[in-house]
Amino acid sequence: MAKVLGWAIAGLAAGAVAVGLWWWLTVRNAPWPAWEAFAEGFVQADGRVVDHTAGGRTVSEGQAYAAFFALVANDPLRFDRIIEWTQNNLSAGSFATQLPAWLWGEKDDGSWGVKDANAASDADLWLAYALFEASRLWAVPRYHAMALDLLAQVKAKEIVELPGVGPMLIPAPQGFQRDDGHWRLNPSYLPEFQLRYFQQQDPDGPWSSVWGNFLGLMQRYRQQGLVPDWFEVDPSGQPVPCRVTGHLGSYDAIRSYLWAAMTPAEAEGQGLMPLVAEAQSTLRRGVADGALEKIDVMTGEAQGPMPLGFAAALLPYFSALDDDESVAALEARLKDHRHDGLLGRPPHYYDQVLALFGEGHHDQRFSFDGLGRLNTRWAH
C-alpha cells in the first residue's frame, strides 16, 4: 500500500513538473500576436515606426511606445533597432547631448529628416523608462547609461519651477509658456508609475515633487473626475482652462485614464485613480452610447463616435472599477473590428498603440509594481 501511495505521489509530482514545463514553454514564452502585427505593419527593419495615415511620418512618441512594447514582448533585436534609429535620427547620435526631436518626415524639398527639433517630454520619459527596464530585465548595462543620459536632459530642459506650484514637467523645451506667464500642461504626459520609478533611479531628482504638484493641480481643476487634454497654470499657480482647447477631453486625455488604471492600488494612495473614478458614470454612458470621442470636462457632454483605440484604453479603467458590463461591451467592440491582428480598416497608428497598452495590460501581458517596475510574462 505504501509503495502504491509512493508511486501515486511520484506521479503527481511528475505531472506538476510537466504542467510547469508546459507553462514555461507555451504561456511564459508565447508570442504577442498584437505586437507582431503592429511590428510588421508599422515598424521598419531599421527600427523606424511609420505612421502610414499621416504621410509616413515618425514621432518620438511612436518610437518610445514601440520600444516599450518590444520589451514587453521579449523582442530584444527590434528593441535595439528602435533605440538606435531613435538616437541616430532624432537625437543627432547621442541622448547625452540632445533630446529626441518629436517629428521626422518628408520635408518641403522632398528630403527626409527632422521636421521639428522640439522634443516631447512624454516620449522622452517613456524612452528613458524602457531603457532602464530593458537594462534590468535583459542585463544590458549600456541601456542604463542611455536612460541616465535621457533623464538628465529631461531634468535640464523639461522640468521648470512653476510659480506657486514648484517643479513641473512641461510638454517640451519650447513653446508652452505664454507671454502673460501662463504655462500649458498636458495631464497625459505624467504617468504616476513612471515618476515613482524615476525617483528610485534618481533619488535626488524632482520626480516625487513633480507628481505631488501635478496631483494638486488636478485635484483643484478636475470636474466630475474628467480629465482635459490640456490646461494652463496662471502666474499665481492656479489651474485654468486652456485657451486653445478649452474644456476638451479627447485623444490626449484618454491616456490619463489608462495610466491611472495601470498604476497598482498599493502605489496609488492619494493618486489619480480615485479622482478619475468619479468619471465612471459619464464614461460608462459613452461606452453604451458609442459616443466618446470628445468630452466637455465641465458639463460631461460627449459627442463623436468612440475611436477603437479608446475602447482598448478603457479596458484597464473599467476593470479596476469592477465594471464587468462595460468591459464586456468594450471587448465585443474590439473583437468585431480586428482584422489580421490590427484594429480598423485602414488600421490607424494611434488606435494600435492604445490597444497594445490597454489590451496588453488587461490580458496580463504586463503590469507595474508599487515602485513602478515592469512585470512581464516572460520575466516571471
Active site residues: 61, 122
Q: How far is CA 123 from the centre of its chain?
A: 9
Give the chain's largest Cα–Cα span: 89
Cβ neighbours of residue 172 closer than 8 Å, sequence gap 6 or more: 102, 118, 119, 120, 121, 158
Q: Write the single-letter amino acid at 213.
A: N
Write out the three cell numbers for 238. 492656479
Cβ neighbours of residue 95 closer than 8 Å, sequence gap 6 or more: 87, 127, 146, 149, 150, 153
Residues 22 and 42: their CA atoms lie apart, in Å, by 32
Q: List the Cα angle 107/127/39 in 5-degree steps.
A: 70
Comparing CA positions, the residue from 323, 219, 312 lying closest to residue 257 is: 312
